Chains A and B, each alone.
Chain A
Amino acid sequence: MGVRNLPVEPYGLAQKKHPSRQPLSWKVVAAGVAAALTLLYLVFTATKASAEYYLTVGQLRAKGPAAYGQIVRIGGRAADGSIHWNAKTQTLRFEMTDKNGSRLPVVYTGVVPDMFGYARDGHYQDAIVEGALQSDGVFKASQIIVKHDARFAAADAQATAQAGKGSGGNP
C-alpha cells in the first residue's frame, strides 16, 4: 500500500515543477488536423486530376461520342491477326477485342512491349491500352500494358509491370 505514496511516475514530478507549462497536446492535435486537411486536399485534387476509367471495349463503345478525348484504360486483347507494325513511322495498328467480341481500332506510336505480339494457342496476350478515343473512332493509345497469365505473373513486385509498359507511356 505504501507504494502508492511513492512517485511511480517520474515525469509527474517534472510537470509539477513547471506548472506554467501546459501540455502541448492541443498543438499536436492541431498539427495533426492541419496535416490531415492538407493531405485530404492533396489527395482530392490529385485524384481528380489523374482519375481514369477502366473500361472494356464494349463499355467504351456503349459510351458513344461522350468518350471522345477522355483518358481511359481499355482491357481486352488484340484481335487475332490484326496487328500491323510500320517500322518506318514506328506506328502500331491493331484491333482490341473483348469477351463479347466488340472491336476497337487502336493506333499507337512508340516502342511495343516485348510480349505484346506473342501469341499462345493462337491468341494474343491480354493487354491494357491507355489513351483516348478520337472523333474518327480510332483509339489513340499512349501506353500499352501486356497482362500476363498466371504462369508469367511471378510473385515478384516490380518486374512484369514495366515488362508490359511500352516506353511510350513515360510521364
Chain B
Amino acid sequence: MSIPSVASLALAVALAFSLFSAVGGGIAHIRGVSELRLSAVRAALSATALLTFCALVLWGLLLTHQFQVAFVAQVSNRSMSTRAIVSAFWGGQAGSLLFRTVMLSWITAAVFWVQRRRESATLGLVLAVLSLVESFFLVVLLTSANPFNVLSTTPSDGQGLNPLLQDEAMSFHPPLLLTGYMAFTVPFAFAVAGLIHGEMGSLWLKALRRWTLVAWTIQGCGLIAGAWWAYHVLGWGGYWGWDPVENVALLPWLVATALLHSLMVQERRGMLRVWNIVLATAGFALAVFGMFIVGSGVITSVHAFAESSVGPLFFTFLGIVLVGVLALIAWRLPLLRSRGRFDSLAARESAFLLNNMLLASSIVAIFWGTIFPIVTEALKGAKIGVGASYYVQVDTPIFCIILLLMGVGPLLAWRRTSGQRFWQAFTLPLLAGGAVTVVLLVMGMPRGLAPLAYGACALTAIATAIEISRGAQARRQSGDGIRVALTGVWLKERRRLGSYVVHFAILILAVGVIGSTFQQSAERELTPGQSLRVGSYTLQYVGVSSTRGTDYVAEAAAIAVRHNNSLLGYVQPEKRVYAHWNSQPVSRISIMTTFPWLDDVYVLVTSITPQGAIDLRVFINPQVSLLWIGAVLFGIGVLILGWPARRQPRLFTPRVEQGSVASEA
C-alpha cells in the first residue's frame, strides 16, 4: 500500500472517530453515560493524532518531491527552497483544507485540556460540536479536495508556487489566518452547548470569553501579518485593499471584538444574552462564509481558488448551522431572558451597547459590499461591484465614533454615572482632543475627518491613561508605594490593564491608518545621477549592481534618500529573476523609515534597461510603521489580558462546580 493511500485511509478513520465523538458525546450528555463520554473524548483525541499524522505525511511527500501526488506536483517543484516547500502545504486548496482540519483537531484537544478542570457541565457537548464541525471538514477533504490523490502519470517536476507566494511571510501569515478561522468554532461550540444544556453559568461565560479572546487574537495577528506582507512584498504602496477575501477575514474579527465587549455586559448585568449567542454564531458563520468565498470563486477576487466543488458543500453547511442555531434560540428563549435593564444612557453597559451597534453596522456594511456582486447578479443579471471607495466612505465615520467611544466608555460607571464625576474625568481628555484638532487645523492639515480623528485618538489616549493611573492611585491610597501600586494594578487587575493596553495598541494602529491616507507618490525614468523629488524627499539614482541568491539573480539599484538636502541613507530596491520563473522578473521593494518624521520611503524599481536606466516608483507613506508597533503592543496587551491567573483559594465564593471537579480529580 502506497504512502498516499495510507494517509487517505487515515483521513477516513479520523472521520469515523470524529463522527463517533460527535454522536457519542451528544448521547453521553443527554443520557448521562460517563463511560461513553470518556470514549467520545478519546475518539476526538485519536482523530487529532491521526490528522497530525496526515499533516506530517503531506510535509514528507512535499519535501521528498513525490510528484505522483497531484497536490505535491501542483504546489512545489525541485528548485524551491525548503522553507518555501514547507509553506507550500497551504499553498493550494486541498492542502489548506487539510491544514485547517488539523488545526481544528488541535484546537479541540486544547479545549479539552484547558477546560477539563474548569468547566464540566457543558464540556462534553462542546467537544461534540467541535467534532461535528471537524467531521464536516473531513467529509469535504475526502470527497472533493483530498491532497493525497495520486496522478496516473508521474511528472518529472512540479509546477511550483508563484515567487510572490514564496516569501517568508508565507510561513506565518496563512497558517495564522487559517487557524484563526477555525478558532471561531470554539465560541460557537460553547454557545450551542450552552443552549442545549440549558444552563449558562459564570464558568460557561468565562470559557466563552476565553475562547473568543483566543480566536480574536489569532485572527488579529493573521490580519496584521497579511497587511505586513502586502505592504512589504507586493509593491502597490498600501497594506489593505478592501478585497473581498480581506473583508471576509476581517468580518469574524469584528464580530469577536463586539462579542468580547458585550460579554462583559452579560457578566456584570446579565443582559444581552440572546445577542451574545447570536454574535458567537455569527463569528463562526462568517468564518465559514470566508472559507466558502475563498473556496468557491463566487466572488471575483484574485485570491479565490479556481472554481471548485467545495462551494456548495460549505453553503449547505452554513445553512444548516444558521437554521439550527435559530431553532435552538427559539427553544431556549425563556432561559435567555435579560436579567437586568438599561437604567441610563450614561452607563458603561450603554456604551458597550453603542459599541456593539457600531461594530454591527460596520460588519453589515462590509458584508453588503462584499456580497453586492452576488446580489446584483441574482437580481439584475449583471454583476455590479463596489470599489474600495465604498468601504472608505461608510466605515471611516463608524470607526471614528468607535475610537471616541473607546475613550468615553471606560470613564462611565456601570448602571449609572453621575454627571459631576463624569465631567471631572472627561474634561482633560476632551480639552486634549480639542487642542490636537485645533493645532492640526492651524498647522494647515486639510479640513476633513483626519484632524477630528487625530483629536479622537488624543482624547482616548488621555482618557485611557487616566483610567490606568486611577487604578494605581486607588491602590496607593490604601497605603502602598507607587511601585507597589503599579505592580498591584498589574497583578490584581490584569484584565483591565490588558484591555487598556490593547486600546492603546488600537489607537496607535488608528494613527498609522489615518497617517497613511496622506500618501504621496511619484514615478519616473532615471539614468544614473538623476533624481526624483517627492514631498520633502529627494531620491537620487546612484547606479545598478548584480547580485545572486540561492534560486534567483537580481539587479539592485542603489538610491540615495535625502530629506531637505541632508542625506538619510540608501535604499536598494531589486528586480529578481527566479530560476523557475525565467520570463518574469519580480520586484523587491525597499523601505526606509525616517526619524523623527516616521515617514516610510517606499521604493520599487519597475524595470531596468540594459543601458542602466531604471523606472523608479516612490511612495511616501506617513506613519505606516505605527501599524507594526501597534501590532506588537496589541500582542503584549493580549498576553497581559489572557495570561492564566494563578489560582487562588476562593474563601468567599466556593463554587459548587469547582468543588465537584476538584473531588473528581
What residues make up the interface of A, taking CB atoms closer than 8 Å to B? 9, 11, 15, 21, 23-25, 27-28, 31-32, 35-36, 38-39, 42-43, 45-47, 49-55, 73, 75, 87-88, 90, 110-112, 114-115, 117-119, 128, 130, 145-167, 169-171
Contact A152 B165 (CB under 8 A): yes
Chain B contacts of A51 at CB under 8 A? 372, 384-386
Residue on B nearest A155 in the bound complex, by CB:
B96
> With A47-B390, A161-B241 known to touch, is A145 a contact of B583 (CB < 8 Å)?
no
Give the CA-CA distance A73 to B384 in the complex, in Å.
Answer: 9
Chain A contacts of B235 at CB under 8 A? 111, 114, 167
Contact of A160 among B302, B383, B386, B394 (CB under 8 A): B302
Contact A156 B177 (CB under 8 A): yes
Contact A53 B382 (CB under 8 A): yes
Contact B165 A50 (CB under 8 A): no
How far is the CB of A19 from the nearest CB of chain B, in Å? 13
Give the CA-CA distance A41 to B45 in the complex, in Å.
Answer: 50
Which residues between 417 and 438 of chain B lie within 8 Å of chain A, taking CB atoms?
A: none
Residue on B nearest A147 in the bound complex, by CB:
B302
Q: How many A-B residue pairs have CB under 8 A?
A: 251
Chain B contacts of A157 at CB under 8 A? 173-174, 177, 222-223, 226, 245-246, 248-249, 303
Contact B361 A35 (CB under 8 A): yes
> With A46-B386, A87-B525, A114-B587 known to touch, is A160 a contact of B339 (CB < 8 Å)?
no
Interface CB pairs A-B, < 8 A, 26: A15-B341, A24-B341, A25-B342, A31-B354, A35-B358, A35-B361, A42-B394, A49-B389, A50-B387, A50-B388, A52-B387, A87-B609, A111-B235, A111-B236, A112-B606, A115-B164, A128-B302, A148-B162, A155-B93, A155-B294, A156-B90, A157-B223, A157-B226, A162-B234, A163-B162, A165-B234
Contact with A along B557-582 (1 / 0, CB 8 A): 00000000000000000000000010
> With A161-B241, A161-B245, A164-B302 known to touch, is A119 a contact of B385 (CB < 8 Å)?
no
Between B357, B373, B390, the greatest number of chain A beta carbons within 10 A of the residue's beta carbon is seen for B390
Contact of A158 among B229, B354, B384, B606 (CB under 8 A): B229
Contact of B162 among A9, A21, A36, A152 (CB under 8 A): A152
How far is the CB of A74 from the nearest CB of chain B, in Å? 11
Contact B585 A43 (CB under 8 A): no
Contact A11 B340 (CB under 8 A): yes
Chain B contacts of A90 at CB under 8 A? 523, 525, 615
> With A90-B523, A170-B237 known to touch, is A158 a contact of B227 (CB < 8 Å)?
yes
Contact of B173 among A117, A148, A158, A165 (CB under 8 A): A158
How far is the CB of B270 from the nearest CB of chain A, in Å? 8
Contact B606 A170 (CB under 8 A): no
Q: Mostly helix, strand, loop or mixed at chain A's interface?
A: mixed
Give the CA-CA distance A167 to B368 in the complex, in Å.
Answer: 26
Chain A contacts of B222 at CB under 8 A? 157
> With A42-B397, A158-B226, A163-B164 known to touch, is A50 a contact of B389 (CB < 8 Å)?
yes
Contact of B93 among A110, A117, A150, A165 (CB under 8 A): A150
Chain A contacts of B368 at CB under 8 A? 43, 47
Chain B contacts of A9 at CB under 8 A? 339
Contact B390 A21 (CB under 8 A): no
How far is the CB of B311 from the nearest CB of chain A, in Å? 13
Contact B357 A31 (CB under 8 A): yes
Contact of A115 among B162, B340, B613 (CB under 8 A): B162
* Residue B301 CB within 8 A of the other chain: yes
Give the CA-CA distance A170 to B350 in the complex, in Å.
Answer: 39
Residue on B nearest A75 in the bound complex, by CB:
B300
Beyond the given pairs A51-B385, A152-B161, A162-B241, 10 more chain A to chain B contacts, judged by CB atoms under 8 angstroms and listed by A's residue number, are: A31-B345, A42-B394, A50-B388, A111-B523, A146-B302, A155-B91, A162-B230, A162-B236, A167-B235, A167-B619
Chain A contacts of B387 at CB under 8 A? 50, 52, 130
How far is the CB of B646 from the nearest CB of chain A, in Å? 31
How far is the CB of A59 from the nearest CB of chain B, in Å? 8
Between A51, A54, A151, A169, the greatest number of chain B beta carbons within 10 A of the residue's beta carbon is seen for A151
Contact A35 B357 (CB under 8 A): yes
How far is the CB of A24 from the nearest CB of chain B, in Å? 5
> With A111-B617, A164-B302 known to touch, is A54 a contact of B241 (CB < 8 Å)?
no
How far is the CB of A73 from the nearest CB of chain B, in Å? 7
How far is the CB of A4 from the nearest CB of chain B, in Å? 16
Give the CA-CA distance A157 to B222 in the complex, in Å.
Answer: 9
How far is the CB of B437 from the nearest CB of chain A, in Å? 22
Contact A166 B234 (CB under 8 A): no
Contact B304 A153 (CB under 8 A): yes
Residue on B nearest A114 in the bound complex, by CB:
B586
Contact of B525 among A32, A43, A49, A88 (CB under 8 A): A88
How far is the CB of A84 from the nearest CB of chain B, in Å? 14
Which residues between 505 and 538 of chain B lie within 8 Å of chain A, taking CB atoms?
A: 519, 521, 523, 525
How far is the CB of A33 from the nearest CB of chain B, in Å? 10
> With A150-B306, A158-B173 known to touch, is A42 a contact of B385 (CB < 8 Å)?
no
Give the CA-CA distance A15 to B353 in the complex, in Å.
Answer: 21
Chain B contacts of A23 at CB under 8 A? 341-343
Which residues between 90 and 125 of chain B lie within 8 Å of chain A, taking CB atoms?
A: 90-93, 96
> With A35-B357, A42-B397, A87-B525 known to touch, is A47 a contact of B249 (CB < 8 Å)?
no
How far is the CB of A150 from the nearest CB of chain B, in Å? 4
Chain A contacts of B607 at CB under 8 A? 87
> With A46-B389, A154-B90, A170-B519 known to touch, is A52 a contact of B306 (CB < 8 Å)?
no
Chain A contacts of B519 at CB under 8 A? 170
How far is the CB of A32 from the nearest CB of chain B, in Å? 6
Give the CA-CA distance A110 to B616 in the complex, in Å.
Answer: 11
Contact A153 B306 (CB under 8 A): yes
Chain A contacts of B604 at CB under 8 A? 111
How far is the CB of A130 from the nearest CB of chain B, in Å? 8
Contact B523 A151 (CB under 8 A): no
> With A42-B393, A88-B525 known to touch, is A150 a contact of B385 (CB < 8 Å)?
no
Contact A165 B385 (CB under 8 A): no
How far is the CB of B614 from the nearest CB of chain A, in Å? 10
Contact B226 A46 (CB under 8 A): no
* Residue B488 CB within 8 A of the other chain: no
Contact B344 A24 (CB under 8 A): yes
Contact A52 B384 (CB under 8 A): yes
Contact of B583 among A25, A119, A151 (CB under 8 A): A119
Chain A contacts of B306 at CB under 8 A? 149-150, 153
> With A46-B389, A170-B236 known to touch, is A158 a contact of B246 (CB < 8 Å)?
yes
Chain A contacts of B301 at CB under 8 A? 161
> With A42-B365, A47-B372 known to touch, is A11 a contact of B339 (CB < 8 Å)?
yes
* Residue B665 CB within 8 A of the other chain: no
Contact B342 A46 (CB under 8 A): no
Give the CA-CA distance A148 to B161 in the complex, in Å.
Answer: 11
Give the CA-CA distance A150 to B162 in the complex, in Å.
Answer: 11
* Residue B544 CB within 8 A of the other chain: no
Contact with A along B68-101 (1 / 0, CB 8 A): 0000001100000000000000111100100000
Residue on A nearest B307 in the bound complex, by CB:
A150
Give the CA-CA distance A145 to B245 in the complex, in Å.
Answer: 14
Give the CA-CA distance A36 to B368 in the complex, in Å.
Answer: 14
How far is the CB of B523 from the nearest CB of chain A, in Å? 7
Give the CA-CA distance A38 to B394 in the complex, in Å.
Answer: 10
Contact of A159 among B96, B223, B226, B581 (CB under 8 A): B226
Give the CA-CA distance A65 to B90 in the complex, in Å.
Answer: 46
Give the CA-CA distance A96 to B386 in the complex, in Å.
Answer: 22
> With A31-B354, A54-B373 known to touch, is A151 a contact of B386 (CB < 8 Å)?
no
